[in-house]
């Protein structure tokens, strides 16, 4: 039987890359990956081709390129790239373009990598956190949640995937342990004693693959994934054990985090506050048990650290 093609947006990146590797790593699974990239001759794109994926050009800002890239596919993995441009409006336009292309191609299963529209919990009138860019509380969450309607409006056969905080943020996103004035290493998060769902990025793709493997079962459903739910203190303790140096958890109020001044600090300050203030809903939507059912190789934080601690930049 012909293999079902999954068109993967962001294939050279974290979420999409994990999915391409999961599909290509299971040659008897009945699927083949079509990796979408803006540059088929990049090293990462060539690597995906070597793994057996079909590699095609597409840009999520260009709906016609998406229509071509989705043509003949069974399904698609759709993700947007907020941190490349910091524009919620552009993110929504990209989601709309992917939904339209999926409709045009008559896809039988779309996974939309979304997040909560936090305004359903914290209306703009609620001043516990500032309104940003005029109409958002957490722009990079709200835009994804608002964009869900592009998929439902077109009656697409969609699974809405809620991802979690990447543990890779400790490697690449400047969130790793840093030395304070006392010379001690600490991670800084405005989470109080509340738990933060986290995941290894490679596991996002593997869970997405598990969703495609279940056929119709999860269409129309929202699936939240996480490797573990951990407090800042628990993550600091694990980080310390893994690197062989004590790491403290530096809990700061969200307003302090928002004032750190790096690009996106206000957005992230509001995001962590949302996760802190609505811990039960946020964690409740992301079951590690169900994630493990989708992806039996799901890593715990300690397992992820065992593989990655040597890559943590210590400043």
Ligand X SMILES: NC(=O)c1ccc[n+]([C@@H]2O[C@H](COP(=O)([O-])OP(=O)(O)OC[C@H]3O[C@@H](n4cnc5c(N)ncnc54)[C@H](OP(=O)(O)O)[C@@H]3O)[C@@H](O)[C@H]2O)c1
Binding site for ligand X (CB under 6 A): 10, 12-16, 37-39, 42, 45, 59-61, 79-84, 140, 163, 165-166, 169
Shortest Å distance, C-beta 37 to ligand X = 3
Shortest Å distance, C-beta 84 to ligand X = 5
Shortest Å distance, C-beta 79 to ligand X = 5
> Tokens 């299963």, residue?
109
Structure tokens at 281: 């809903």
| CB-based contact 7:77 (threshold 8 Å) | yes
The smaller minimum CB distance to ligand X, of residues 65 and 158, is found at 65
Structure tokens at 256: 């302090």
Shortest Å distance, C-beta 143 to ligand X = 9
The smaller minimum CB distance to ligand X, of residues 61 and 217, is found at 61
Q: Is 109 in a helix, a strand, or coil?
A: strand
Shortest Å distance, C-beta 297 to ligand X = 19
Shortest Å distance, C-beta 78 to ligand X = 11
Count of other CB atoms within 10 angstroms of residue 240? 17
Shortest Å distance, C-beta 18 to ligand X = 8
**Where would I find the H helices in the chain?**
14-24, 43-50, 63-70, 82-85, 88-105, 139-146, 148-153, 169-172, 201-213, 232-243, 254-258, 265-277, 279-284, 288-294, 301-308
| CB-based contact 11:42 (threshold 8 Å) | no
- Farthest-apart Cα atoms in the chain, separation: 64
Q: Give the residue closest to ligand X by C-beta.
A: 13
The smaller minimum CB distance to ligand X, of residues 86 and 290, is found at 86
CA distances from 306 to 176, 227, 240 (A): 16, 14, 12
The smaller minimum CB distance to ligand X, of residues 169 and 300, is found at 169
Helix orientation angle between 139-146 and 265-277, rounded to the nearest 10 degrees: 70
The smaller minimum CB distance to ligand X, of residues 40 and 184, is found at 40
Q: Is 45 in a helix, a strand, or coil?
A: helix
The smaller minimum CB distance to ligand X, of residues 16 and 176, is found at 16
| CB-based contact 66:101 (threshold 8 Å) | yes
The smaller minimum CB distance to ligand X, of residues 38 and 250, is found at 38
Structure tokens at 102: 């999926």
């Amino acid at each position: 039987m012909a293999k079902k093609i999954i068109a993967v947006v962001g294939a050279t990146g974290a979420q999409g890359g994990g999915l391409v590797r999961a599909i290509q790593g299971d040659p008897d699974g009945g699927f083949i990956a079509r990796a979408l990239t803006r540059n088929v001759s990049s090293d990462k794109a060539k690597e995906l081709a070597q793994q057996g994926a079909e590699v095609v050009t597409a840009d999520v800002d260009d709906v016609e390129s998406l229509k071509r890239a989705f043509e003949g596919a069974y399904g698609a993995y759709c993700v947007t790239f907020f941190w490349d441009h910091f524009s919620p409006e552009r993110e929504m336009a990209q989601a709309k373009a992917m939904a339209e292309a999926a409709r045009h191609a008559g896809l039988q299963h779309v996974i939309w990598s979304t997040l909560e529209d936090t305004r359903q919990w914290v209306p703009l009138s609620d001043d516990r956190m500032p309104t940003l860019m005029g109409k958002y509380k957490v722009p990079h969450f709200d835009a994804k949640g608002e964009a869900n309607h592009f998929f439902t409006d077109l009656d697409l056969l969609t699974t809405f995937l809620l991802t979690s905080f990447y543990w890779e943020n400790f490697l690449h996103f400047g969130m790793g342990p840093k030395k304070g004035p006392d010379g001690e290493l600490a991670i800084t998060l405005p989470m109080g004693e509340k738990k933060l769902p986290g995941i290894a990025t490679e596991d996002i793709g593997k869970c997405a693959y598990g969703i495609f493997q279940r056929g119709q079962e999860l269409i129309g459903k929202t699936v939240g994934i996480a490797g573990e739910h951990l407090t800042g203190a628990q993550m600091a303790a694990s980080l310390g054990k893994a690197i062989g140096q004590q790491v403290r958890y530096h809990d700061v109020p969200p307003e302090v985090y928002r004032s750190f001044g790096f690009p996106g600090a206000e957005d992230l300050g509001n995001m962590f506050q949302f996760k802190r203030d609505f811990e039960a809903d946020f964690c409740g939507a992301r079951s590690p048990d169900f994630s493990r059912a989708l992806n039996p190789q799901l890593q715990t934080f300690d397992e992820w650290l065992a593989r990655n601690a040597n890559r943590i930049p210590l400043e």
